[in-house]
Amino acid sequence: MEKIILFLTVLCCTLSSCTKEKTDYEAEIDTIVPERIEFKEVTNFKSGNYTIRIEALGGQLYKGYNQIRLKIEAPDQPAPSTVTLLPILTDSQGKISSCPHRYEQLYQAEEGYFEGYVVFTEESRNTSHWDLHIGFTAAEQLHSNSQRIQVRPQDNKNLNMTSFTGNDGEQYFIALIAPQKPKVAENNLTAGIYKYNKPKALSSSSTIDPAQFSYSQVEGYTLQLDPRMPEPSMGNHSSPNNKDLVQGTDKLYHGVVNYTMTGNWTLNFILLNHQGRIVKGTVVPNDFTPGVEGIKSELHIDILF
């Protein structure tokens, strides 16, 4: 009897093992969506007695939105104040430009670092490069430094960005900030919307004038959202219960996007100004069109997870 039971137990185990393995859904997203949670040092350099450490998520800078922490340390020296940061891109012709950023860094007293962000609009290439111009005041003395940095291509499509000229002639930038790693779920979508402030007068000085590279966070606009799957076989599939992005107290724009399955999605946008006028974007068709690639808004960002 015992032998029979043993035999049957073994038989059960053999027969009950699955033919196909179940999908590890969360691990599968991990394979194509890198998630960076920890701030690590990107680079450091000396300015007088001070050591300046630049930190970013994962210790790398990427095209798109980067949160930046500056640690300016020196033993037995007065604490630095008025820390400024200006990213400058120099192209192959030597022409310089910048990108959306916070110029004056916020001091986080508890953690002891200065906080800011940069939305890099391009990655570093052989012919063009980025420098971070970091200035600070310590003991009433102004320190100015420039540090060459490497901006890598964005490897997480969920942090993509786009730039465009609005119908009002202004230059705008929209960068996705969260979620880094979306799920098949209701996701809180965060984006930064920035604008280039055209300088009143062109600078003639040969030194870099921050006034020429002024960017600000766009205030009080609405970013209408219509997420869709562009894959032809998905027939312009969309999801319910999405919410347009509106500005929160942190100045960033927050909304809700529902992804009904993993894969390629397009976030179709329409940017409205405070008066509700369209700054950029077109309405996408609502029809279910199997076999036809979905039509995208003229203002959109593609994501993938």
Partner 1 sequence: MNVVFALLLGVCTVNAQDNLAQRDTTKILEEIKVKAKGKKKIKTDMKLAVSVDEFLASSQSISFIKRGAYAWEPLLNNMSSERSSITIDGMHVFGACTDKMDPITSYVETNNLSTVDIKSGQEGNLHGATVAGSIDLQRKSTAFGLDKKVTGSYQTGFEFNNKQHFNLADMSYSGNRFVADGSISFRKAKNYHSGDNKEVKHSQFNKFNSSIGLAYKTGERSALRIDAIYDKAKDVGFPALPMDLWLSRALITSASYKQIFEDNIIQFWDTKVYYNTIEHYMDDTTRPENLVHMDMPGWSTTYGLLSKIALKRGRLTSEVQLNAYDNLSIAEMRMYPQDRSKRTMFAYSWPWITTRFAGLSTSNSLDLSDKSHLTFGGSLGWNYNYSKYVEFNKIFYPDAPQKKNSILPSLHASYHVNVARFDFSVGSGYGHRAPSISESYGYYIYNSFDRYDYIGNPHLKNEISYEINATAGYKSNKMGIQAKVNYFYIQDYIVGRILSMGSPMNYQSVGVKGYTALDHANILNLAISTNYDILPHLHWKGTITYARATDGQRGNLPFIRPLSYQTSLHYMYKRFGIQTSLNGDAVQRDYSPEYGEDKTPAYQIWNASADYVLPIQKVNATLQIGAENILDTYYSTYADWGNIPRMGRNIFTSLKINF
Which positions touch partner 1 (CB under 8 A)?
A: 1, 4-5, 8, 11-12, 15-16, 18-20, 22-23, 25, 28, 32, 183-186, 229, 231-241, 258, 260-264, 286, 288, 290-291, 304
CB of 238 vs partner 1, minimal distance in Å: 5
Query: 144 vs 286, which CB is nearer to partner 1?
Result: 286
CB of 189 vs partner 1, minimal distance in Å: 14
Tokens of 36: 């960076």
Q: DSSP letters of 76-134?
A: TSPPPEEEEEEEEEE-TT--EE--SB-SBPEEETTTTEEEEEEEESS---SS-EEEEEE
The helix/strand/coil state of 30 is helix
CB of 304 vs partner 1, minimal distance in Å: 6
Query: 55 vs 226, which CB is nearer to partner 1?
Result: 226
Query: 112 vs 232, which CB is nearer to partner 1?
Result: 232
- Taking the C-alpha atoms of residue 28 and residue 30, their distance in angstroms, rounded to an integer, is 5
Using the 8-state DSSP alphabet, how is residue 285 labeled? P
The helix/strand/coil state of 28 is helix
CB of 101 vs partner 1, minimal distance in Å: 32
CB of 296 vs partner 1, minimal distance in Å: 16
Query: 92 vs 233, which CB is nearer to partner 1?
Result: 233
CB of 283 vs partner 1, minimal distance in Å: 15
CA 202 to chain centre: 30
Give, in order, the Cα–Cα distances in Å from 236 to each of 98, 167, 269, 298: 37, 27, 15, 16
Query: 104 vs 287, which CB is nearer to partner 1?
Result: 287
Query: 51 vs 262, which CB is nearer to partner 1?
Result: 262
- Taking the C-alpha atoms of residue 138 and residue 284, their distance in angstroms, rounded to an integer, is 54
Angle at the Cα of 208 from the Cα atoms of 212 and 205, rounded to 5 degrees:
85
CB of 236 vs partner 1, minimal distance in Å: 7
CB of 25 vs partner 1, minimal distance in Å: 7
Query: 218 vs 234, which CB is nearer to partner 1?
Result: 234
Say which residues have a Cβ less than 8 Å from residue 263's Cβ, sequence separation at least 6. 229, 231, 234, 304, 305
Query: 8 vs 106, which CB is nearer to partner 1?
Result: 8
Angle at the Cα of 293 from the Cα atoms of 288 and 297, rounded to 5 degrees:
85
Give, in order, the Cα–Cα distances in Å from 33 to each of 29, 39, 231: 6, 18, 19
CA 80 to chain centre: 28
Tokens of 65: 């939105």
